[in-house]
Structure 1
Amino acid sequence: MLSYRHGFHAGNHADVLKHFVTIQLLNYLGQKDAAYTYIDTHSGAGLYALDAGYASKNAEYETGIAPLWDRKDLPPALAEYVNLVKELNPSGKMRYYPGSPYCADKIMREQDRLRLFELHPSEIKILSENFRKLDAHAAAQGHRPTTRGKRVIITAGDGFEGLKALLPPPSRRGMVLIDPPYEVKDDYRRVKETVQDAALRFPTGVYAVWYPILQRMESKQLPERLKRIPGNGWLNVSLTIGGVTPDGFGLHSSGMFILNPPWTLEATLREVMPYLVSVLGKDAAATFTLESGETQVIGKGRGKPVSPPRTPVVRTRTR
């Protein structure tokens, strides 16, 4: 199915969680001089207009970036994300919102590499055009990177399958963002199998999975299944902005699961998540959860990975 267009949801509360966390992961990888590779399996268009087209129909950005736009009390880590969005809007008016490829491009350095996949025929054209415009803008400012052709590679195709050929990356350092539309139940299975396979090919990679929190069983089971994948620990965070409406429509909660997370990320989330609940929360059902744990890799043929008890789930609610 190729009916999904992320433009309808650009800048909503789920994007805030996804992009804020992604920026933190990339910042951590950038602390070392050695290059790293960022792989986005479902890149979308990369950049979205909030005042026209799909995004303007439901105005979902009003549940996410909009309430944060003029805040003066943003936690430092969250302020970095908001400022990145504001750089796209020099007039001060909120008109454009960056997708994960644009966020990554702004954070990453000249020596780092972006590998972007998109299957939707319309989205891949827009993604390619947006990066062409970025090149043109940089050239107009007198900046002509010598490695652009190698630094960013955009591929029209299935990111689940394309990921296999890229792991491990040449630098042996990298991050993978997996963010499918979850239009069909099979996406949940493919996410789990893709992360499991990727972790075998590239055990030290950082793997970030965004997922919707819905009533369907597959949604509830996904993070539990991801926790059993061997790695150097995991972290699972979710954000709920309100209770389910009577009609059952709309996305009110989503999560990010990170395999091999940076040791600094949990503390950052403990600071930022209560703030997001207080600002984005719509009613008393607004909350967040944050949990972490470890998986132990047992030698081949000696058993299955085991998980020690997880840390307690942290919750907070609006009043």
Structure 2
Amino acid sequence: MLSYRHAFHAGNFADVLKHSVLTLVLDYMTRKEKGFCYLDSHSGAGMYQLGDEYAQKTGEYKNGIEKIIQDKSAPESLEPYLSLINSLNLSDELEVYPGSPGIAKAFMRRQDSTHLFELHPTDIQHLEDFCQRWRKVFVKQSDGYQGVLGLLPPPSRRGVVLIDPPYELKEDYQKAVKTIIKAYTKFATGTYIIWYPVVKRHFIEQMEKDFTNSNVKNVLQVEFCLEADSEEYGMTGTGLFIINPPWHLAEQLKEILPYLKTKLGSQQSTYQVTQLVAE
């Protein structure tokens, strides 16, 4: 299935959580001079126009990035993310929003390399256009799960891997975890991020069990839910599994999540930061 287009959802509350974490992780990686490798399994288009028909049809960014982009009361931990978004928009009006490749491009240095995978025939063209004049970036229209595994361990022995499937297929929940478990056996010191939607709780519970029953260590789980779990169709929340997170990331998230609940959620919204598997 290749019907999913992230353009409908760019800048929504799930992107705010995912991309603020990605920004903090990449910022941390650049504090050492030695280069690192960034691998992105489901890259999307790279950059999204919020004025186009896709974003306007759903308007999800209006209850996401738009609500916080100019907020002076945002916690310090969100500053790198918000500054990056502001730097891409030349006026006060929010016109563009970066996908994960757009986030990465802002951080990658001459000594770093980037590998982006995308299968959708339209998004791969947008992605290739976005990556023109970007040095040391490699774009492939191929399966991102296998692509990531084929590149580990990176020569620098430093790396960040983002697994961010659309979950059109229920098999993606288990496939994402299995990919990380396999990757960990090849490269145990890498930082791995898996994004997931909260649609059916039992899928996430199985992901948790798969991690706790594996040899993967140091797994941080982060979740932000706008509403309580429901059997109705639709995403009520969003979450991340982060393997080998930067040492201070959990504390930063304990600043970010209460703020996001206040600005994007309601009294019914919940959040958690849990050390699922110890170091």
Q: Does the alignment pair 1:191 with 2:176?
A: yes
Alignment counterpart, residue 158 of structure 1, candidates 143, 150, 159: 143
TM-score by length of 2: 0.95
For 2:196, what is the secondary structure of its paired residue?
strand
2:250 aligned residue: 266
1:81 aligned residue: 81
Give the alignment of 1:57-206 within 5 angstroms.
57-132=57-132, 135=133, 148=135, 151-206=136-191
Moved beyond 4 Å, runs of 4+: none
1:99 Cα deviation after fit: 0.3
8 A Cα contact 1:85 1:98, kept in partner: yes
1:301 aligned residue: none
The 2-side partners of 1:224 and 1:21 are apart by 23
Deviations 1:26-85 (A, max 9, x none): 111111111000000000001111111211101010121011022111112212211111
The 2-side partners of 1:170 and 1:46 are apart by 25
The 2-side partners of 1:77 and 1:295 are apart by 24
The 2-side partners of 1:219 and 1:231 are apart by 17
State the AA in 2 paired with 1:23.
T
Deviations 1:113-134 (A, max 9, x none): 11100011111011001122xx
State the AA in 2 paired with 1:284.
Q
1:227 Cα deviation after fit: 3.6
Q: Does the alignment pair 1:15 with 2:15?
A: yes
Change (3 A) 1:220 1:8: farther
State the AA in 2 paired with 1:271.
E
Structure 2 stretches lacking a partner, 5+ long: none
Deviations 1:167-222 (A, max 9, x none): 00010000100000001111112111100100001111111000011125223322
State the AA in 2 paired with 1:184.
L
Structure 1 stretches lacking a partner, 5+ long: 136-144, 297-319
1:225 Cα deviation after fit: 2.0
2:273 aligned residue: 290
The 2-side partners of 1:248 and 1:35 are apart by 45
2:218 aligned residue: 233
8 A Cα contact 1:9 1:61, kept in partner: yes
* Number of equivalences: 279
C-alpha RMSD over aligned residues: 1.7
1:221 aligned residue: 206
For 1:223, what is the secondary structure of its paired residue?
helix
The 1-side partners of 2:228 and 2:173 are apart by 24
1:232 Cα deviation after fit: 4.0
The 2-side partners of 1:228 and 1:61 are apart by 37
The 2-side partners of 1:277 and 1:224 are apart by 27
Q: Percent identity?
A: 42
More relative contact order in 1 or in 2 (CA 8 Å, sep 6+)?
Answer: 2
8 A Cα contact 1:40 1:117, kept in partner: yes
